[in-house]
Amino acid sequence: MSTVSKILKRDFIRAARSAGSWAYGLVFMAIFLSLCAIAMDGDMSVLRQMGVPLIWLAVTFATLISVDHAFSEDLKDGTTGQLWLSGVSYLSQSVSGILSFALIQLLPLVLTAPLWSLLFDLSLQAVWGLVLSLLCALPGLAAFTALAGALTGPSSKGGFLAIFITAPLLVPILIFGVAASDTFIDRGFAATELQALFGLSLLALTISIPATAAALAANTDR
């Protein structure tokens, strides 16, 4: 079993034993979208128009409040340094951490998007566009958030600082994500915004993987 898969297995076991802390983002998303629907007084014409942007906002906010789950525990208890001493490079830890954050914290948000689309009475094509755009954005969301978590993990106010670091980075993804969801209805996979969103996610990974590895090295007592 490769190093990355071993770390992933450990993170899944840790999430299963965490008394549901991995689901905080889902709870926030449920509360946020429900309150938004109530605030719009159940007007279906408005709900259909605002459904995609609100679901994107909910996913983005849920990503931000989950930043404490990216590397903070390993940095605080010294696991990051122990892994490095055991021969696991910071680059491998960076890749595994981003992948773990994407699968445990963010993927459930994407998978529940069709459920929330019922609240806003979105068409089937709109739901497909929403889910596909979220999947394209998933690597970028995970990469930028994990980078912020690695930069601020040891700090007692790491989560607060990480939100301020991550929020500006997620704005372009949010803008292109909403646009890609809308244009997919008319243009399908040929939508330029969808391709740009995927390219932005790849760029985020390219930047964040080595930057996260450097942040882990800088924040580790060796």
Cβ–Cβ < 8 Å for 158, 72:
yes
Euclidean distance between CA atoms 39 and 52, whole angstroms = 16
Domain residues for the domain of 40 are: 3-218
pLDDT tens digits, one per residue of 135-192: 999 999 999 988 888 888 766 555 567 777 788 888 899 999 999 988 888 777 778 8
What is the pLDDT at residue 221? 63
Band of pLDDT at residue 204, cut at 50, 70 and 90: very high
Contacts of 192 (CB under 8 A, 6+ apart): 183
- How many domains is the chain partitioned into structurally? 1
Determine the residue type at 217. Answer: A
For the whole model, what pTM was predicted?
A: 0.87
Instruction: Report the alpha-carbon distance of residue 100 to residue 106 in Å, rounded.
Output: 9
Comparing CA positions, the residue from 147, 141, 201 lying closest to residue 170 is: 141
Task: Tell me the pLDDT tens digit for each residue of 55-88.
Answer: 999 999 998 888 877 787 778 777 888 888 888 8
- Mark 208-219 as b/e (b = at least 16 C-beta within 10 Å): bbebbbbbbbeb
